[in-house]
Amino acid sequence: MRARAAWHFGGGPAYCAACRHEQTPCATAAPSCPYRRYAPASVDGWIAWETACVGARQLRVGPDGRVIGLDLGALLALGVARGGDAAGLAELLPAIEDGLADALAAAEA
């Protein structure tokens, strides 16, 4: 989940748009596509991923205005409302938050 989130929040959608435009192998069903390679392996994983994407604006912001993470409480409530298991979400959402943090750190570097 962390690797998928780092890819996604680090510019993955724009990269994939270029792949589709250039008709590269990863734009099809190739296993080299990071979205396929780092796909969730369970229903709980997919619910956590979709919850994070839908609730990606639920952020924690530091006093300097920089994003420091996701509002995991809000995302947990959202995920449970979407049919997710609270224990599974509590395990998976922090990994997605770590991936977001990795992407933000790479963007600042």
Centre a 10 Å sphere on the Cβ of residue 93 and count the other Cβ atoms it contains: 25
Among 38, 21, 40, 51, smallest CA distance to 103 is for: 38
pLDDT, tens digit, 9 for 90 and up, residues 34-71: 888 899 999 999 999 999 999 988 999 999 999 899 99
User: Quick check: 28 pLDDT over 70?
Assistant: no
pTM of the model: 0.85
Instruction: Please report the pLDDT score of residue 27 as a whole number.
Output: 66
The whole-chain average pLDDT of the chain stands at: 89
